[in-house]
């Protein structure tokens, strides 16, 4: 593997790890709210979160670029508050990946929270556990498989993204050039051997990640 | 020291509209048909229902009033749900410790060893809830609630999800609870049998309202209640074992009103036991007859009589010393014997249930 390849592998893992962490922090409260609320806005938010599943990544990337670009409303806001511009930076990639992989984290968490239901929480409250206490002492352990699924899917999906990264990140080696991007470059250059090394590795990674998830899913028939 | 609860909570099927004063000791049964609002009342007291129309004072502490609702986890209560609701990710021991370690050291009046012993679950401590039987689960759930040293124990039909054999397995533990711990218990049930065995007080509920309340013995002996303990109209009172006859396997029980022979239930001399006499097992004679098979004959005064559900039947309330009995007979017999309030008669008691 060339140094550029290695840099892309490292950057991809860093992006996926950062994105997954941010997603678990942001996705958990969203999933919790979606699982428990009867608010009218629930379906609207659920749809919004699901949108990246069906939207072409280039469309998502395009609108993010428009929003975050120097002339976009969010870009201007960032500029006005003295923050660095996001497009074509690693931070920009994280923001885009968080939005793009959101459904893969929120949906398993929401399903896990819904499966727990009201009963254990009521029991915990009558045993003197306040809301936060109940969440960490009862909900997190009971929803643990959901958290695992969410983390693995969020990570794997971020590793595999292409269209959004292309739009918002460009193809800057060491900065925004992720694996899928460099594979594309190799194929364009008709360097199929180099493409195989990376593409094969990604295939193996995705397979192993999903295999582990299935193997350690509780309640799996043995 | 008492519990004052007032709640109004509209539901599609009924409106809970209740204002009760409950004693701060003993077991108070909240009794009524399914859908009469018993569980809702219990959930209101626990703070599990989101109602602001009500007030609740427990032993001088305001738990709810106006716009103030003390959060559930800050109420010193124990709650036993119909399904045990043990935490599946924790062992029995960790389940027991869950509530206990969340209360202040100074609030721990009941020791873990005590509740483990009381409910006979020492051999289960290392197990996971999924490896317990239904009866064991419910015992652990009761122990878990008790381990928080609650000032009020709320039990929502804790035996309803169990079969008859499991119920019989748990009832003795509940009786011990009643005898050994000074924690007031609100016990929701639609089982006349459980109420007769466990309750000291009773609140009768119908369509979201408390239609009667009072000490169990007095309340059961009333003839005017719209809802009695099901088909089994009868009275419950306590007595003391005076003598055990080994030859005939009978025990002589003294109560406020006289003495009575029952089948020996194994309780030792001096023990206090509960007796239940159903109205259908009591018959009336104008004169004392010794040539009948019935052993228990007691002099009584007729207090009042009331109509029964079926037009052929009448219900008679009788004073036997300090105890009130109910007798069910046909209106025809009552008429033939010319029974009237104030009259001295003899009651013949065919069967007495010893409730332990």
User: Does residue B68 belong to any structural domain of this protein?
Assistant: yes
CA distance B95 to B1: 31
Same domain, B158 and B304: no
User: Does residue B85 belong to any structural domain of this protein?
Assistant: yes
Burial class of B28 by CB neighbour count within 10 A (0 to 12, 13 to 18, 19+): buried
Least confident residue range of B85-94, B225-234, B265-274? B225-234
Same domain, B165 and B255: no
**3-state DSSP assignment of residue B9:** strand
User: Does residue B11 belong to any structural domain of this protein?
Assistant: yes
Which domains are delineated in chain A?
3-215 (1.10.3720.10)
Q: Which of B165, B195, B220 is the endpoint of a domain? A: B220
Residue B126 pLDDT > 50: yes
Same domain, B9 and B95: yes
pLDDT of residue B203: 92
Q: Which of B196, B220, B244 is the endpoint of a domain? A: B220
The complex's ipTM?
0.82
In the numeric block, the tokens 């860093």 are attached to A14
For residue A47, which phi and psi values (nearest 5 degrees)? -65, -45
Same domain, B9 and B33: yes
Chain B nearest-CA residue for A127: B99
User: Does residue B138 belong to any structural domain of this protein?
Assistant: yes
Q: Which of B220, B250, B274 is the endpoint of a domain? A: B220
pLDDT of residue A107: 95
Residue A1 pLDDT > 80: no
The token pair at B175 is 């009786």
Residue B356 pLDDT > 70: no
Q: Which residues from A are below 8 Å from B48, CB to CB?
A: 122, 125-126
Residue B186 pLDDT > 60: yes
pLDDT band at A134 (very low <50, low <70, confident <90, very high): very high
Residue B26 pLDDT > 50: yes
pLDDT band at B103 (very low <50, low <70, confident <90, very high): very high
Q: How far is CA A138 from CA A34, A124, A148, B84, in A?
A: 18, 8, 16, 15
- Strands, sheet with B272-278, edge to edge from the N-terminal-most edge strand: B258-263, B250-255, B234-245, B272-278, B353-354
Q: Which residues from B are below 8 Å from A134, CB to CB?
A: 73
Write out residues 135-174 of A within 8 Å (CB-CB) of B.
137-138, 141-142
Judged by CB atoms closer than 8 Å, whether chains meet at A127 and B99 is answered as: yes
pLDDT of residue B229: 58
In the numeric block, the tokens 């969010």 are attached to A74
CA distance B326 to B304: 10
Residue A220 pLDDT > 60: no
**CATH number for B30:** 3.40.50.300
Judged by CB atoms closer than 8 Å, whether chains meet at A122 and B85 is answered as: yes
pLDDT of residue A217: 72
pLDDT, mean of residues B209-217: 89
pLDDT of residue B169: 79
Judged by CB atoms closer than 8 Å, whether chains meet at A126 and B98 is answered as: no
Q: How many residues does chain B have?
A: 356
Which of A126, A134, A141 shows the shortest C-beta gap to B89? A141
A125 CB near a chain B CB, below 8 Å? yes
Same domain, B155 and B206: yes
Same domain, B303 and B333: yes
CA distance B303 to A157: 82
Structural domain count of chain B: 2
Judged by CB atoms closer than 8 Å, whether chains meet at B72 and A125 is answered as: yes
User: Does residue B75 belong to any structural domain of this protein?
Assistant: yes
CA distance A139 to A174: 40
A-B C-beta contacts closer than 8 Å: 60
**CATH number for B313:** 2.40.50.100
pLDDT, mean of residues B333-341: 89
Least confident residue range of A94-108, B64-78, B227-241, B318-332? B227-241
Higher pLDDT, B265 or A217: B265
CA distance B170 to B139: 7
Residue percentage of chain A with pLDDT more than 90: 48
Same domain, B202 and B327: no
A127 CB near a chain B CB, below 8 Å? yes
CA distance B39 to B189: 9
User: Does residue B42 belong to any structural domain of this protein?
Assistant: yes
Residue B231 pLDDT > 70: no
Same domain, B275 and B207: no
Chain B nearest-CA residue for A120: B85
Which of A123, A133, A134 shows the shortest C-beta gap to B85? A123
CA distance B253 to B271: 10
**pTM flag (> 0.90):** no
Residue B239 pLDDT > 80: yes
Going by the DSSP 8-state scheme, the letter that residue B29 receives in this structure is E
Judged by CB atoms closer than 8 Å, whether chains meet at B102 and A119 is answered as: no
pLDDT, mean of residues B103-122: 88
Question: What is the residue-wise DSSP string for chain A?
Answer: --HHHHHHHHHHHHHHHHHHHHHHHHHHHHHHHHHH---TTHHHHHHHHHHHHHS-HHHHHHHHHHHHSTTSHHHHHHHHTTPPP-TTSHHHHHHHHHHHHHHHHHHHHHHHHHHH-SHHHHHHHHTT--HHHHIIIIIHHHTHHHHHHHHHHHHHHHHT--HHHHHHHTT-TTTT--HHHHHHHHHHTT-HHHHHHHHHHHHHHHHHHHHHHHHT-TT---
CA distance to partner chain B, nearest, from residue A189 (Å): 54
Q: Which residues from B are below 8 Å from A141, CB to CB?
A: 89
Same domain, B13 and B157: yes
pLDDT of residue B154: 95
pLDDT band at B233 (very low <50, low <70, confident <90, very high): confident
pLDDT of residue B118: 86
How do residues A172-212 score in pLDDT, each as one tens digit? 887 888 888 889 889 989 989 999 989 998 899 889 988 98
Q: Which of A73-82, A85-94, B304-313, B340-349: highest mean pLDDT?
A: B340-349
Chain B nearest-CA residue for A143: B89
Chain B nearest-CA residue for A119: B85
Residue percentage of chain B with pLDDT more than 90: 43
Parent domain of B64: 2-220
Same domain, B180 and B266: no
Higher pLDDT, A91 or B179: A91
pLDDT of residue A222: 42
Q: Which of A1-5, A27-31, B179-183, B285-289: highest mean pLDDT?
A: A27-31
Same domain, B317 and B243: yes
Q: How many residues does chain A have?
A: 222
Mutate to test the interface with B, among A37, A116, A127 (most CBs of B within 10 A): A127
A219 CB near a chain B CB, below 8 Å? no
Residue A110 pLDDT > 90: yes
pLDDT band at A218 (very low <50, low <70, confident <90, very high): low
pLDDT of residue B217: 85
Q: Which residues from A are below 8 Å from B72, CB to CB?
A: 122, 125-126
User: Does residue B57 belong to any structural domain of this protein?
Assistant: yes
Chain A nearest-CA residue for B154: A126
A218 CB near a chain B CB, below 8 Å? no
Which of B77, B87, B102 shows the shortest C-beta gap to A138? B87
User: Does residue B226 belong to any structural domain of this protein?
Assistant: no
Residue B232 pLDDT > 80: no
CA distance to partner chain A, nearest, from residue B64 (Å): 16
Beta strands in B72-191 (DSSP E): 77-80, 152-156, 185-189
Same domain, B210 and B240: no
How do residues A147-174 score in pLDDT, each as one tens digit? 999 999 999 999 888 888 888 887 788 7
């Amino acid at each position: 593997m060339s140094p550029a390849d290695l840099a892309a592998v490292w950057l991809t893992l860093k992006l996926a790890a950062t994105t997954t962490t941010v997603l678990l922090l942001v996705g958990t409260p969203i999933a919790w709210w979606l699982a428990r609320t009867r608010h009218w806005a629930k379906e609207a938010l659920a749809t919004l979160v699901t949108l990246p599943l069906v939207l072409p990544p280039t469309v998502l990337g395009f609108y993010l670029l428009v929003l975050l670009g120097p002339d976009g409303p969010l870009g201007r806001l960032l500029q006005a508050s003295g923050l660095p511009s996001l497009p074509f930076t690693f931070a920009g990639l994280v923001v885009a990946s968080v939005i793009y992989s959101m459904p893969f984290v929120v949906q398993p968490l929401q399903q896990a929270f819904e499966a727990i239901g009201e009963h254990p929480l009521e029991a915990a409250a009558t045993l003197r556990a306040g809301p936060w206490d109940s969440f960490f002492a009862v909900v997190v352990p009971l929803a643990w498989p959901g958290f695992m699924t969410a983390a693995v899917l969020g990570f794997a999906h971020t590793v595999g993204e292409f269209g959004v990264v292309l739009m918002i990140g460009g193809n800057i080696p060491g900065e925004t050039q992720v694996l899928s991007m460099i594979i594309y470059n190799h194929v364009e250059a008709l360097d199929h051997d180099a493409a195989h090394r990376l593409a094969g590795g990604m295939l193996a990674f995705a397979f192993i990640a999903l295999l582990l998830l299935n193997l350690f899913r509780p309640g799996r028939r043995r | 020291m008492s519990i004052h609860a007032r709640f109004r909570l509209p539901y599609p099927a009924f409106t809970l509209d209740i204002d009760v004063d409950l004693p701060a000791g003993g077991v108070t049964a909240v009794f009524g048909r399914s859908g009469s609002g018993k569980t809702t009342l219990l959930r209101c007291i626990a703070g599990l229902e989101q109602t602001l129309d009500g007030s609740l004072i427990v032993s001088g502490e305001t738990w709810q009033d106006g716009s103030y609702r003390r959060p559930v986890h800050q109420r010193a209560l124990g709650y036993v749900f119909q399904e045990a609701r043990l935490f599946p990710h924790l062992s029995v021991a960790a389940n027991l410790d869950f509530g206990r370690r969340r209360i202040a050291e100074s609030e721990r009046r009941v020791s873990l060893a005590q509740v483990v012993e009381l409910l006979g679950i020492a051999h289960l401590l290392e197990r996971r809830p999924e490896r317990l039987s239904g009866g064991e689960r419910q015992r652990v759930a009761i122990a878990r609630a008790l381990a928080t040293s609650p000032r009020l124990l709320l039990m929502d039909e804790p035996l309803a999800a169990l079969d008859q054999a499991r119920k019989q397995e748990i009832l003795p533990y509940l009786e011990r609870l009643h005898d050994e711990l000074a924690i007031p218990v609100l016990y929701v049930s639609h089982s006349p049998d459980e109420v007769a065995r466990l309750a000291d007080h009773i609140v009768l509920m119908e369509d979201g309202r408390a239609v009667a309340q009072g000490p169990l013995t007095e309340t059961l002996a009333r003839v005017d209640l719209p809802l009695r303990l099901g088909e089994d109209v009868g009275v419950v009172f306590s007595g003391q074992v005076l003598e055990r006859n080994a030859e005939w396997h009978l025990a002589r029980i003294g109560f406020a009103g006289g003495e009575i022979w029952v089948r020996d239930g194994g309780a030792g001399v001096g023990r206090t036991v509960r007796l239940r006499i159903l109205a259908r097992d009591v018959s009336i004679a104008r004169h004392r007859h010794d040539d009948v098979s019935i052993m228990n004959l007691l002099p009584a005064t007729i207090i009042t009589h009331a109509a029964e559900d079926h037009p052929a039947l009448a219900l008679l309330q009788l004073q036997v010393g300090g105890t009130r009995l109910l007798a069910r007979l046909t209106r025809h017999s009552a008429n033939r014997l010319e029974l009237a309030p104030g009259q001295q008669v003899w009651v013949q008691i065919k069967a007495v249930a010893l409730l332990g």
